[in-house]
Structures are given as C-alpha cells and as structure tokens.
Structure 1
Amino acid sequence: MMRKLTHFQKIKIAAASLVVFLLVLATNIMDNNHFDIVQQSLETVLDDRLVAKDYIYKISRQIHLKNKLLYTSDHEQMAKANQKANDSIQTLVAKYAATELTPKEAQYFESLENNLDKLFQLEKQLYSNSSSDQVAAIEKAETYFTRISSNLDVLSEVQLAEGKRQIHYSNRAIENSNLIAKLEIGALIVIGLIIQIFIFFKPSE
C-alpha cells in the first residue's frame, strides 16, 4: 500500500511537475521558431529564387530573339517583333524588381536595367533609320547584348547560391529541432524517474 506523502515530498513533486511543464513549453516555443525558419526559407526559395530564375530565363529568351531580329531583312516586321519583345522584357524586369534582392543581386540588376535602357535607345535609332551608320549601330547593339547576357548569367548564379543558402538554413533548423526533441525526451525520462523516487522511496528511520 502506498504510503502517505509528506508535505515536503508534495512540494518536490509539484516543483518537478513545474519543471516538466516549463521544459515542454520552452521546447514547444523553440520548435515553433524552427518551423517558422523552415517555412520562411522555403517561401524565399519559391518566391524570390525559383520565380526570379524563371524571370531571368524568359528575359534571356527575349534577348536572344531581339538579337536575331537585328539581321532580319523585313524591317517593318522586325520593328514590330522587337517592340513586342521589349514590352515583355519590361514586364518581366518589373516583376523581378518586386522580389527580395540581395546587395550583390541589386548591383547586377541595376547594371542590367542600365544596359537594357541603352539598348532600347539604340534600337530606336536602328529601327527608325535615323542612324547614319547601321553597321556600326548593330555592332554597338551587339556589345549591349553581350553585357546583358553577362548580367543575366550572374543573376542566375545568385539565384542558385541563395537557394542553396536558404536550404542550408532549413536543414540546420530541422537538425536543431530534432536534437531538442531528443534532449526533451531524455529530460522527461530523468524527471519522471526522480518523481518516482520521491513517491516510492522511503527514507530509513
């Protein structure tokens, strides 16, 4: 038959129970924090990396099309197709600008915008026949195409690097959560044993 607990033992059991409660509460808060980190990292990878990489790919396709148009014989058709490509690029650039940019990314994105603006201005001369030397203008346009392609390559590499960094944060948060869960189980077992000792241990007279 279980003996009656003393007042001191009851206090110890209440203290141990409080420790268990605080331990569970603390680990729950930390688990929620780790979950938020993982969720935020995954959202960043999707919204600011995968989507941004898709924008870069689509801009690259339009740039490739514009480059080919330089050597199209049908001048009127060439001008219409180029304007359509420019409209598409401007829309994609605006969407890209709305994503979260790293400092390095913002630097190369600004360079991309500047090179695009200069190319668009040069194309106005080309397609309006206002350029006195079409060959020289085309060669200059090729220079801008090369710069723009270089900007897009760097921006694409940034997406890959940032995506890997966010995945690393997620994995580290998951590992920390798993470690805390194991420690929590161990601590609960130890505290449970201590409570059992308080209840059943009968000190010698």
Structure 2
Amino acid sequence: MLTKLNTTNRVNIGLSLAIVFLLVLATNRIDKRHFETVQNTLNTIHNDRILAQDYVYKMSGILHQKRILLLDSTAIDKEIVLNTQFETLIDVFAKTKLTTNESKKFKSLQKNFNELNKIEQSNFNSGNNKNVTKYLDALETDLNNLALIQVSESKNLISIAQKSLDNNKFISNLEIGFLILVGFIVQFVIFYRVKKQKSEL
C-alpha cells in the first residue's frame, strides 16, 4: 500500500508516527518522574518518619526506666547505661531529615538531656531528685511533640504520593485518548488519500 502513496502522504504518515513516538516518550518521562516521586516519598516515610517514631518510642522507654531509678540511689551504673543509650538514639535521630519545627523540638530535647545529665552527675550523692524530675518532664514533652510531628509529616508525605499517583493516572488517560485520536488521523490520512488517488485514476 505504501508503494502507491505519494511523497506528501508518506511525509504526513511519518509526521503522525513521529508525533505518536514523541508523545509516548514524553509521557514515559512524566510517568518516570511520578514514580520517582512516589518512591522517594515511601523512602522518606520509612527512613525519616517511621524510624524516627521508633527512636522517639525507645527514648520514651528510657525516660520511664530513669523515673523508676529515681527510687534507687545506688543504681548509678544502670543510669550511665541508660544515658548512653539515650545519646545513641539522639545521634541516629539527628541523621533523619528534620523539618524546621522538628529541628526546634529536637534542639530542645538535646538541651534538656544535657541539662539532665549535668544534674544527675551532681546529684548522685545528694539524693535531690526534684530537678531531675523537672527535666524528665521536659524531655517527655519534647518527645511527645516530636511524635506528633512524625504523624503529621507522614500524612503530608502520603498526600504528596497520592497526588502524584492521581496526576499520573490523569495523564495516562489523556495519553490513551490522544493516541486514539492520532490513530484515527493516521487512518484518515492513509485511507482517504488512497481513495482519493484511486478516484483520480
């Protein structure tokens, strides 16, 4: 059939096919970008939110144990172990991606923990637990605030991922519709021109 087409018809068909190819290529790139957005969002939810929430949970558990140790003035070794564990959790938490608000709460946590450390070291033999309790309360408040941020940020990230998937679905539907339209145009160019040529013979 193509051997019977003149140069103009061949150019039209070539342009139509080139448009289809470019459309598929462009939508493929867009799809890839959307999938990368979703993948990055899922990684962020796991690395910066779920793990951060786990760190907050473990730090809360350590504070609970420290409250219990207030009743035992001889548990100095246990206190040192708990502080080391808390410091380790602070270090790994610092490596997560922090929002501006989260960074402020985290700095408050670090500051209160450092103050608690100083007081504990000076109070080991004094038996004065009032200031220790004060900073334990402050640390619990910091951890509660950080936990709330994890929930809020997780919701935001899920919303971003869902929006990206919705956009991808919409673009895919547009792509299918446009491909159908181009298909009809190509058929029209091929068959209408062929009929026209035959009628002229």
What TM-score results when the alignment is normalised by the length of structure 2? 0.93
Aligned residue identity for 2:190: I
> Any idea what SS the aligned residue of 1:164 has?
helix
Q: Are the equivalent residues in 2 in contact too, given 1:112–1:151 (CA < 8 A)?
A: yes
Aligned residue identity for 2:15: A
Match of 1:152 in 2: 143
Q: Are the equivalent residues in 1 in contact too, given 2:2–2:10 (CA < 8 A)?
A: no
CA distance in 2, matches of 1:3, 1:36: 45
Match of 1:19 in 2: 19
Identity of aligned residues (%): 36
Confirm whether residue 106 of structure 1 aligns to residue 80 of structure 2.
no
Q: What is the correspondence of 1:51-66 to structure 2 with a 5 Å cutoff?
A: 51-66=51-66
CA distance in 1, matches of 2:123, 2:78: 14
Counterpart selection for 1:142 from 121, 133, 138? 133
CA distance in 1, matches of 2:97, 2:66: 28
Deviations 1:147-192 (A, max 9, x none): 1000000000111111111111111111111111111111111101
> Any idea what SS the aligned residue of 2:130 has?
helix
Match of 1:165 in 2: 156
Which residues of structure 2 form unaligned runs of 5+? Answer: none
Q: Are the equivalent residues in 2 in contact too, given 1:2–1:200 (CA < 8 A)?
A: no
Tell me the CA shift for residue 6 of structure 1.
2.1
Counterpart selection for 1:115 from 112, 115, 130? 112
Q: What is the correspondence of 1:4-15 to structure 2 with a 5 Å cutoff?
A: 4-15=4-15
Match of 1:92 in 2: 89
Tell me the CA shift for residue 17 of structure 1.
0.6
Tell me the CA shift for residue 105 of structure 1.
0.5
CA distance in 2, matches of 1:145, 1:89: 12
Tell me the CA shift for residue 2 of structure 1.
8.5
CA distance in 1, matches of 2:67, 2:121: 14
Q: Are the equivalent residues in 1 in contact too, given 2:48–2:97 (CA < 8 A)?
A: yes
CA distance in 1, matches of 2:26, 2:2: 33
Number of residue pairs aligned between Structure 1 and Structure 2: 196
Aligned residue identity for 2:172: A
Match of 1:31 in 2: 31
Q: What is the correspondence of 1:120-131 to structure 2 with a 5 Å cutoff?
A: 120-127=117-124, 129=125, 131=126
What TM-score results when the alignment is normalised by the length of structure 1? 0.91
Aligned residue identity for 1:65: Q
> Any idea what SS the aligned residue of 1:99 has?
coil
Tell me the CA shift for residue 140 of structure 1.
1.4
CA distance in 1, matches of 2:191, 2:91: 72
CA distance in 2, matches of 1:105, 1:64: 23
Q: Are the equivalent residues in 1 in contact too, given 2:63–2:136 (CA < 8 A)?
A: yes
Q: CA RMSD in A?
A: 1.5
**Which stretch shifts more, 111-120 or 175-184?**
175-184
Tell me the CA shift for residue 107 of structure 1.
0.5
